[in-house]
Amino acid sequence: MQFENILVEIHGKVGLVALNRPEVLNALNDRLMDELGQALLAFDADDDIHCMIVTGSDKAFAAGADIAAMADYSYMDAYKSNFIGRNWEQIRSVRKPVIAAVAGYALGGGCELAMMCDFIIAADTAKFGQPEIKLGIIPGAGGTQRLPRAISKSKAMDMCLTARMMDAQEAERAGLVSRIVPADKLREEALAAAQAIAAMSLPMVMMAKEAVNRAYETTLSEGMQFERRLFHSTFATEDQKEGMKAFLEKRLPAFKGI
Ligand code: CO8
């Protein structure tokens, strides 16, 4: 596939997408989001890819939606084109894990895009924020919804109302990011995490992702029931037999993904 706004690489079983509009700090326009969705869905459909990474540059993961592109939108432009809903939600339909590897700015739609991924590995240079309020708008791709679930209502209000940025340390303390790594090791660490995931049983990885995501969408008792059904189903797989046999035989498992 030919892309103009992203770079795509394959590292073994890991597919990596780097946002690539350096002249505007990876500002997210419609075309870029179409390409990102296409690349991730193609990886999702590829049996040889087990995990994905979305990353940016050293200076910016993404400095938000492209302000120049939307400055003149009317309400009807946004409504009729299903702005954001049309291509942003594609990322949520990816069933294999997607890691966000964030260095520099992750602002507005950039922070929201990182939160749409399954977890965030942050460089020590990362800065997160929802500065939309300064532009006379509010977040539109989950900033008011995913952020309170990730970091508490109080901190999410602070971020959305004052537009202040959160550095990597604060983001880790607040639970927005899973780990912080030195900026010059971001790619290496994200690839190591992705490769560790890719070595597991793919259906188990997909089920674990589905179950954790369900925790956001439902009550505890419904979520527990959902988890138990999936857990019971794992005993129908060859990978469960292989994983437990390998442990007992003190060797590494050779998962087949069935
Ligand atoms: N959109 C378009 N262009 C941008 C954006 C952006 N979000 N961010 C930076 N740029 C451009 C600048 O205009 C500048 O271009 P030029 O060189 O032609 O003047 C270039 O990138 C470099 O930027 P700066 O010179 O400003 O770089 P600094 O290092 O001085 O500052 C900042 C970096 C602090 C990141 C600054 O660029 C900034 O504040 N950017 C805007 C951040 C922002 O407000 N983001 C929120 C956007 S709104 C949004 O995301 C709504 C989300 C809704 C869902 C998503 C729908 C798609």
State pLDDT tens for residues 116-147: 999 999 999 999 999 999 999 999 999 999 99
Task: Identify the pLDDT of residue 110.
Answer: 98
Task: Identify the pLDDT of residue 254.
Answer: 95
- Other CB atoms within 10 A of residue 92 CB: 11
Q: Note whether 212 and 112 are within 8 A (CB).
A: no
Residue range 178-193: mean pLDDT, rounded: 98
pTM passes above 0.90:
yes
Mean pLDDT rounded to a whole number for the chain: 96
Task: Identify the pLDDT of residue 232.
Answer: 97
Task: Identify the pLDDT of residue 222.
Answer: 97
Give tens-digit pLDDT for 164-185: 999 999 999 999 999 999 999 9
Q: Is the pLDDT of residue 1 over 80?
A: no
Give tens-digit pLDDT for 70-91: 999 999 999 998 887 778 888 9
Query: ipTM surpassing 0.90, yes or no?
Result: yes
Q: Is the pLDDT of residue 219 over 80?
A: yes
Residue range 202-220: mean pLDDT, rounded: 96
Catalytic residue flag (residue 189): no
Cβ neighbors of 183 (< 8 A, separation 6 or more) are: 58, 103, 123, 124, 125
Q: Which of 109, 110, 140, 143 is the catalytic position?
A: 109
Task: Identify the pLDDT of residue 90.
Answer: 86
As for ligand 1, residues whose beta carbon falls within 6 Å of it are 24-25, 27-28, 63-68, 84, 105, 107-109, 112, 131-132, 135, 139-141
Q: Are strands 6-11 and 105-107 parallel, antiparallel or unpaired?
A: unpaired
Task: Identify the pLDDT of residue 21.
Answer: 98
CA 65 – ligand 1 centroid, Å: 8
Catalytic residue flag (residue 142): no
Alpha-carbon distances of 33 from 26, 64, 73, 84, 230, rounded to whole Å: 11, 12, 17, 9, 32
Query: Which residues are paired to 101 by β-bridges?
Result: 55, 121
Catalytic residue flag (residue 170): no
CA 63 – ligand 1 centroid, Å: 5
220: pLDDT confidence band, cut at 50, 70 and 90? Answer: very high
For a mutational test of ligand 1's pocket, the pick from 66, 67, 111, i.e. the residue with the most ligand atoms closer than 8 A to its C-beta, is 67
Q: Note whether 114 and 102 are within 8 A (CB).
A: yes
Task: Identify the pLDDT of residue 126.
Answer: 98
Task: Identify the pLDDT of residue 87.
Answer: 85
Using CA atoms, how far apart are residues 203 and 105, in angstroms rounded to an integer? Answer: 34
Task: Identify the pLDDT of residue 71.
Answer: 94
